[in-house]
Structure 1
Amino acid sequence: MLIGYTRVSTDDQHLDNQRSALRAAGCQRIYEEKISGAKRARPELNKLLDHMREGDVLVATRLDRLALATRDLLELAEILNRAGVGLRSLGEPWADTTSPSGKMVLTVFSGIAEFERSLIAERTTAGRLAAKSKGIRFGRPPKLSAEQIALGHRLSSEGTSVREVARMLNCHHATLYRAIGTYITPADSN
């Protein structure tokens, strides 16, 4: 079954031309929506994906109707491939996963996207290591300062309960237990 998908970005745009092209291509059912292609959560596209069955073909007038970013398009193509569903673009004849050449082109694009993701991961790792070497700390800022941890350690070692100290420091007792557990006294740091 050929199932069409039409999309325009704003309410004042019309779907008529896309609808006509999809009907002429033989689409028995057409899902339509007026929403930005940059949004990943699109209700009609999600309904379409839920409706599709193995052997169906998703047809769009152009690939940018399905996704604006290459990565999003490749993710969609992979979802369709896993479900045994084809993908065809009327405006880009090379984008037809029901043909051997279309599958090959999409495979090449997928390989390029995977290569790009691995380069991004390498650059991210290198950037994080460089930042750490400069003393930049990642993650959530600590709830307690070094002075508060020292005070908490001193008060709890003098007999005040950890829960009471945590109330004084306005933190959860588990936070204080973790901080005290890693506390290094000034004498230990010498």
Structure 2
Amino acid sequence: MSTTVGYARVSRREQSSAAQEAELRVAGAARVFVDHGESSRVLERPQWVACLDYLRPGDTLLVRRLDRIAGSEKMAIETINDLHDRGINIKSLTEPEIDTTTPMGRALFGIVAVFAQLRVDTIRDNTRRGLEHARAQGRIGGRPSVMTPDRTAAAVRMRAQGASLAYIGRVLGVGASSVSRALARADAPRPR
């Protein structure tokens, strides 16, 4: 026998989830799992994990909006695909196109998934081409190092006097790992 299971989430602990819970119960949820103070970008939310464990093939997961379960489009598509692979339907109360219990809902989701994957692939390809172009121009991506030449020189002097990486980091106002990387670069032989 299939069951309709609700999932609700509020971002802050002081927020009330009562309205979401009531909507889900009125729409037919036999049980509602609720996370308080949890971000939708975190997969390991306690009640979300419990909800996923509770769901069985043939069940329907009911949410008020898709952003309750996923913090990004990619995460939403992966979640819906995972549920689909497990034989679990998903239905959104405020987004009628998200209803995999109907043939039209499944078809629309398939189309949305294709376009979302195309978007992800396009972003990845544009990023790769941008990085290749920057390298060809002699630029390297990433944040500039916090270890300026002056800080590196000071770190080399302190290390020569036996100071620990943690101590050097505290004195220079940077992390010990930044000091370690800078010292490794300073010790590396220069190309001739």
TM-score, normalized by length of structure 1? 0.70
Change (3 A) 1:99 1:28: same
Shift of 1:37: 2.5
SS of the residue corresponding to residue 143 of structure 1 reads helix
SS of the residue corresponding to residue 34 of structure 2 reads strand
Shift of 1:41: 3.1
1:20-44: CA deviation from partner (whole Å, max 9, x where unpaired): 2222222122101112334343221
Aligned to 1:149: 189
Shift of 1:142: 9.6
Asked whether 1:102 is paired with 2:142, we answer no
Asked whether 1:24 is paired with 2:26, we answer yes
1:47-98: CA deviation from partner (whole Å, max 9, x where unpaired): 2112211111110122222224222211110110111110001122221011
Aligned to 2:65: 62
Shift of 1:148: 4.4
Aligned to 2:147: none
Asked whether 1:52 is paired with 2:93, we answer no
- The structure with the larger Rg is 1
1-structure distance, mates of 2:188, 2:30? 68
1-structure distance, mates of 2:25, 2:105? 22
Match of 2:14 among 12, 27, 34: 12
Give the share of equivalent positions with the same residue, in percent.
Answer: 30
Q: Which runs of 4+ in 1 moved over 6 A?
A: 138-142
Aligned to 1:159: none
- Superposition map of 1:63-82 within 5 A: 63-82=66-85
Moved more, 81-90 or 40-49: 40-49
- Superposition map of 1:168-183 within 5 A: none
Which residues of structure 1 form unaligned runs of 5+? 151-183
Change (3 A) 1:65 1:135: same
Shift of 1:137: 4.5
Aligned to 1:120: 123
1-structure distance, mates of 2:32, 2:14? 20
Corresponding letter in the other structure for 2:66: L
Which residues of structure 2 form unaligned runs of 5+? 143-180
Instruction: Please provide the CA RMSD for this pair.
Output: 2.4
1-structure distance, mates of 2:96, 2:137? 51
Asked whether 1:89 is paired with 2:92, we answer yes
